[in-house]
Structure 1
Amino acid sequence: MMKLKRDIERERQNLHELVIRYGLCDPRVLEQSVILDVYINEYNRVKKRERERNEASA
């Protein structure tokens, strides 16, 4: 989970740098946003599975 959090932060920083360099409408910014979304979605899936496991064991 910690690696996933670090990956998200790294990709968020990359996105921020691209926005500063190229603006919001650049295709590179959109591509990086999609990459970041993939990591965030995976994080949310992992968290959901953890919650479901915790609820099942309670």
Structure 2
Amino acid sequence: MTDLDPRLLEMLVCPVTKKPLTYDREAQELVSEAAKLAFPIRDGIPIMLVEEARKLDE
């Protein structure tokens, strides 16, 4: 499991809401609470496509 570079996390925002993301290390996802979406991280690369995101349960 690869950690995400903190500098990268500072630059990335949710593509839907433009709000900050939270890094879920265990799930390897970037979570947008505002959009209720979790974007996967594959091989250390965040996949910031809405169609690739997992919807969070409310």
- TM-score, with normalisation over the residues of structure 2? 0.22
Structure ranking higher on relative contact order (CA contacts 8 Å, 6+ apart) = 1
Please identify which structure carries the higher helix content.
1
Higher Cα Rg, which structure: 1
- TM-score, with normalisation over the residues of structure 1? 0.22
